[in-house]
Chains A and B, each alone.
Chain A
């Protein structure tokens, strides 16, 4: 009899949550993580100076108010996990000293927009309510409900007003929608960035349901108190308390396939660890199917789909800062709140600024344009020593540089020079971030992302591109989007499966459900009320 009921490959947020639900359901689960630290993208590291807690990957938590995991696992009550929803979530300071802000309070947002365009302020209010409605009634629930085949989903939606609106929006591109709704150039720039900041192309059609999602989330991001890793650690505690285990520094050579079923894994040193009931992989489809399962164990269609999995065209250049001062934005002289924003959008004052940058990135070029930045310790003092602050500049960047390919990102002086350019841009808006006030800094390039997280190949922070052919029901492909795979007892639960990437807890929640159902395990958790309601309304 094997020691473990199930093995989960990867202990990032998706692996951890799948493990937590199933461990609490009474299964003995083992998580195997390649890195030396669990948590995957929920990482917090002292990469500049001690006491400065840098969130080196996930920093803006987007679905805290929707993901069922927080209530289900009692993360706050039992493990002290807390989030801050700042009053000013996303801010755009302008070089003329004015500013635009998306607040957690809708009225304040409208007030801010009204300073640029009364019409846009009214539109925003109306759109906010409409999109919030879409979120609550469909998009939110759909994130935590199994994927439906497109034909079926579209048909269901066509039967209602709200559904028809969503279907119509799906066909449209972000810039098109925003330009139609809003008139002011700065408002358009901020909202376009908000929609596209995770790698959605400004002119991409077919994924338009992400427009209301990202616009709605733009004023709903949260910061995790104590750093994102605190959450990962809490998730691991659920696993330990329920007899599970998480091991790090584990190098898996293959998934053991016996009579067409996944029965365990083999490590690089030849050790075989058996899994009695299931193996779940939170990795990307190429690693899962081609490397670990092996083509000889795949049918032709699945092999083909795994091979054609597309990585993302754009990645991030991150610059982490340890600061001796509180950043002072020039725009704060007209609005003091400007020094208290969570996310600053800097350097993109018009849509063209952003679009030009995007196009440059697609060509493999760097441009001194804009980025988002954040100073989390201003909102969460635990993240830096008293009186000092953390900063992060997060800029769209190509993995494959036109000049020198990805390897060029290793060039120490090249990176430092690019970092200096980013700082020059920032200083136009917050002039007190001088070299003297930067105690230490740390760079993370698209190549670094690939080195840190093997499943984020080519710096793909979502484990694979958001293209219509690999989204929704097709993520990672039609055989596996509901987390079961054609291989017996093998499941997928990572960001490359439905409902997608960034840290939203959709894939893992759904995978846990699928595994529990298949094994006939009593679910200790209830269907989320929003999902029940969406089913009652026949939207799901």
Chain B
């Protein structure tokens, strides 16, 4: 392969890298994707690691990809990508048998990738919240209306365009100056716990806000949220961001992208770690693999791996200013480290509250002690000393109810998350011991909500610790799934750092598109899409958004 040459090379086969690669291939460029691991996908991966026939997602599972531009632009439904957006989308069950079901405010046509507003979503959610507190229900309703009318479109404009230049305002930032329909500016200076307490009065809603923010955005109660993150976090509780399970496993997203790529003449190579970007006169000219093979990139190179590896290994410190090197080194990677596993079961968890309200078995649920004080202060402290908290705030995904493909007929697969600490806090062997302790504690506490969650119900179990998460994906340093924490200083126009937030690097024709980039990860493809926008500008490529008639 030493004489191989491409127009564009993408380093890393994660979903953002594949998104860019597909757009470029559709524009007629000859694209090559080089992935260090043995399969494509990065965070969009699936394994049958509890038992054969039971599909789990070791990384991303809650997917909002179906209503993003790449899904439609790349025609991914044609390549076998299907989602299920359940009506029973989310909710929380408390240890005192209170519960709140969160209904989606949108129905999603997962084939066409379109969302339609449904008023009954918020109507029902309102009643749910009102059981705990009327005031909280009113607050939620107000937030919902503001989100619908004023925040949502600005959020789309914000995340589906490269960040504004210095001196320009981001569409969301304008909301901080609007006391009527905007965002309370104090909430951008307060930590998640303060926001929870300021917004809501009930323990239940405070716990719900703190725990769901942690899961959706990787911010603990002590973190300060960035603007887009705040909007996203609030939207969790008001039906604003319906989520789906990917039929047959999240890895199907990688398959569909790969098929799109190959159908347009693109190529991919696995077990092909890249050592360096080849640079001549400050311009990217190609890559060199770890095995020494050099491959030419006639036009451009995109790095889909994390900023740290991009700057220090691919480019090399010499080409980069001391300022940039220092800031990249200082990036925080301590949030987004989780214990994330699955059970293969004989039967679904049977929640006591289901007898009262069957809708409590939702795709993504929380099983939480109704203790806001503990959640705000002690939860995180215990996680950082012990690896997991003594009171578990369990976050199950009831996959098999909504995607029967994930388990053999009549059996059940459920995933679960709890927050944890950076991988470097413990050695591998300590993590392996810790997770066995965790599994025992998990079953014990799960039984409080669903008495059938005993070892007799278990066919298989697997837990990923932050250590394993970094073993699986070298971009997730220290187990940080979003590559770098998504808190106030590491977001938007400052993500990963101000000098690198527009998808470009100090090297000409070397770009970036990954979870380290300005919009943050989760599986939306936003970084890949935005990178493509920059490339379209720089290389005169098709402006797909104009063709599709959308403002972003």
Interface residues of A (CB under 8 A from B): 36-37, 44-51, 53, 56, 80, 226-227, 229-230, 233, 237, 240-241, 245-251, 382, 385, 410, 412-413, 439-440, 442-444, 448-449, 451-452
Contacts and interface: CB of A to CB of B under 8 A. Distances in A.
Contacts of B472: 46, 50-51
B61 interface: no
Contact of B455 (A80, A251, A413): A413
**Nearest 8 A-B pairs (CB), nearest first?**
A451-B53, A249-B248, A50-B472, A240-B262, A452-B52, A36-B248, A448-B52, A50-B471
Given A36-B248, A249-B80, A241 B52 contact: no
B191 to A, nearest CB: 33
Nearest to B428: A439
Contacts of A229: 38-39
Nearest to A43: B48
Contact of B47 (A47, A246, A443): A47
B247 A451 contact: no
B99 interface: no
Interface stretch (B200-208, B234-242, B249-257, B497-505): B249-257
Contacts of B405: 36, 249, 251
Given A36-B252, A233-B39, 13 more contacts: A36-B249, A36-B405, A45-B47, A46-B47, A47-B47, A80-B269, A229-B39, A247-B80, A249-B248, A251-B405, A439-B428, A439-B429, A452-B52
Given A44-B38, A46-B472, A230-B270, A412 B455 contact: yes
Nearest to B429: A439
Interface residues of B, number: 46
Contacts of A48: 49
Interface string B407-441: 01001000000000000000011001000000000
B459 A49 contact: no
A227 to B, nearest CB: 6
Interface string B446-467: 0000000001001111000000
Contacts of A230: 38, 270-271
Contacts of A233: 39, 270
B419 to A, nearest CB: 20
Given A80-B1, A249-B252, A412-B459, A47 B48 contact: yes
Contacts of B383: none
9 contacts: A49-B468, A56-B52, A233-B270, A240-B263, A245-B259, A250-B80, A382-B271, A385-B471, A448-B53
A36 B55 contact: yes
Contacts of A240: 259, 262-263
B51 interface: yes
Contacts of B161: none
Interface string B257-293: 0010011000101110000000000000000000000
Contacts of A46: 47, 49, 58, 472
A439 B49 CA distance: 15
A410 B346 contact: yes
Contacts of A382: 38, 271
B82 interface: yes
Contacts of A237: 262, 267
A218 B51 CA distance: 30
A73 to B, nearest CB: 16
B384 interface: no
A227 B271 CA distance: 10
Interface of B: 1, 38-39, 46-49, 51-55, 58, 79-80, 82, 247-249, 251-252, 255, 259, 262-263, 267, 269-271, 346, 405, 408, 411, 428-429, 432, 455, 458-461, 468-469, 471-473
Contact of A249 (B82, B411, B460): B82
B458 A45 contact: no
Taking each of B48, B247, B468, which has the highest tally of chain A beta carbons within 10 Å of its own beta carbon? B48
Nearest to A32: B80
A412 B460 contact: yes
A247 B251 contact: no
Contacts of A53: 38
Given A226-B271, A439-B428, A36 B46 contact: yes
Nearest to B464: A50
Contacts of B48: 45, 47, 452
- Mostly, the A contact residues are mixed
A56 B52 CA distance: 9
B432 A451 contact: no
Given A37-B251, A240-B263, A410-B346, A47 B49 contact: yes
Contacts of B249: 36
B432 A439 contact: yes
Best-surrounded residue of A80, A229, A249 (most CB of chain B within 10 A): A249
A117 B458 CA distance: 51
Contacts of A413: 455
B395 to A, nearest CB: 22
B292 to A, nearest CB: 14
A294 to B, nearest CB: 20
Nearest to B263: A240
A452 B469 CA distance: 25
Contacts of A451: 51-54, 408, 411
A25 to B, nearest CB: 19
Given A249-B405, A439-B432, A444 B271 contact: no
A236 B539 CA distance: 32
A371 B498 CA distance: 59
A138 B468 CA distance: 50
Contacts of A246: 259
Contacts of B432: 439-440
A248 B459 contact: no
Contact of A412 (B55, B247, B248, B458): B458
A45 B49 contact: yes
Given A227-B38, A229-B38, A449 B262 contact: no
A36 B247 CA distance: 9
Contacts of B455: 412-413
Given A240-B262, A248-B255, A382-B271, A452 B80 contact: no
Which of B51, B79, B405 is packed against the most chain A CB atoms within 10 Å?
B51
A233 B37 CA distance: 14
A442 B55 contact: no
B13 to A, nearest CB: 12
A229 B251 CA distance: 15
A210 B248 CA distance: 39
Contacts of A56: 52
A15 B493 CA distance: 49
Contacts of A410: 346, 459
A246 B429 CA distance: 40
A36 B1 contact: no
A248 B53 contact: no
A191 to B, nearest CB: 32
Given A36-B46, A46-B49, A452-B53, A249 B247 contact: yes
A148 B349 CA distance: 55
A448 B407 CA distance: 11
Contacts of B252: 36, 248-249
A505 B159 CA distance: 49
A413 B468 CA distance: 25
Contacts of A80: 1, 269
B49 A442 contact: yes
A254 B255 CA distance: 25
A85 B80 CA distance: 37
Contact of A248 (B49, B80, B408, B428): B80
A47 B79 CA distance: 26
Given A229-B38, A412-B455, A449 B248 contact: no
A173 to B, nearest CB: 33
A51 B471 contact: yes
B251 to A, nearest CB: 7
B23 to A, nearest CB: 18
Contacts of A247: 79-80, 259
A384 B405 CA distance: 30
A233 B263 CA distance: 15
